[in-house]
Chain A
Amino acid sequence: MARPRPEPMQVVKQRRDAALKALVEGVPYIRFLNISFDRRGDELTGVLNFEEKLIGNPFLPAIHGGVTAAFLEVTAVITLSWEYLFPRIESGELDAEDVMNDEKIRFPKTIDFTVDYLRSGLPRDAYARAFISRSGRRYASVRVEAWQDNHAKLFAQASGHFLMPQPRPDKG
């Protein structure tokens, strides 16, 4: 038996990009910080697009520590949500429009998040990538790295725990 013919590349790309866009642009706070995501296959890179309002120390100047924490947390939650929703997006069960509109779709909730500040964030774009160390039915453990000019020189790293969306108990 011949395997089924693969879907045309454009169809795959369009479906994945539309779902990611809905996931990211549906959140007002992500727009407020002007964070976007690059996608290569299933790998996501968060991009913190620099703006003056992200500054925390105007004398250095440096990116606000709280912005760095928020950027890493957003990257962790989006990466985790993406991993969690991806099979349903791929199977066609979930459309891009449903991602933010369907009341039944819940997102992982942060339980705790710890940030190490390794060097000050320079006033320019920053990048982050999250690695899911473990993802169980109830809890997930995620590590995040953030860098600017040089990927080998991280300016912050974080690790956190998340509560995965729980199926609602059936009534009746």
Chain B
Amino acid sequence: MVDKTKLARQFIEAIPHAKALGLELTSIGAGEAEITMPYNEALIGDPRTGVIHGGAVSAMLDTCCGAAVMSHPSAPGGTATIDLRIDYMRAATPGQSITTRATCYHITRNVAFVRATATDDDQDRPVATASGSFTVEGK
């Protein structure tokens, strides 16, 4: 079990795009994952407000959901996104880091179902939520 957690962390941190975004896996295990991304001016969506682009939040949510699937005790190995829906509640506050938390709440032999939220410093008001289905792949 410990090995799988370690494997997932290594796997996430070896992803070139996760590196480009500056993603940091802060917690993982038992079908749950948490990823943080520091504020980065290169990811701004509207230069007049300094708000991070929704696409960067989507990429975080997708990575976090995939990590949650891989950390699930019933997942034998890798995963790929089948579909992902993102709802945007509000703009992330400029200057603050963004944290995503994903839960793989159900898994079958072939499909994993995941939910996730993204927040900034104000943890009570989500920036975005996601729900998706992922493939379950053998080792």
Contact = CB atoms under 8 A, between A and B. Distances in A.
Contacts, number: 125
A122 interface: no
A39 to B, nearest CB: 21
B84 A69 contact: yes
A70 B12 CA distance: 19
Interface in A92-126: 100, 103, 107, 109-117, 120
Interface residues of A, number: 37
B82 A73 contact: no
A74 B42 CA distance: 15
A33 interface: yes
Contacts of B88: 109-113
Contacts of A66: 17, 55, 58-63
A64 B55 contact: no
B54 A110 contact: yes
Contacts of A56: 15-18, 63
Given A27-B46, A32-B43, A69-B84, A53 B54 contact: no
Interface in A62-102: 64-67, 69-71, 73-74, 100
B66 interface: yes
A28 interface: yes
A58 interface: yes
A70 B16 contact: no
B47 interface: yes
Nearest to B59: A66
A42 interface: no
B53 A53 contact: no
Contacts of B83: 114-117
B30 interface: no
Interface of B: 14-20, 41-48, 52-56, 58-63, 66, 78, 80-88
11 contacts: A28-B41, A28-B45, A29-B53, A56-B18, A66-B63, A112-B85, A112-B87, A112-B88, A113-B54, A115-B81, A115-B83
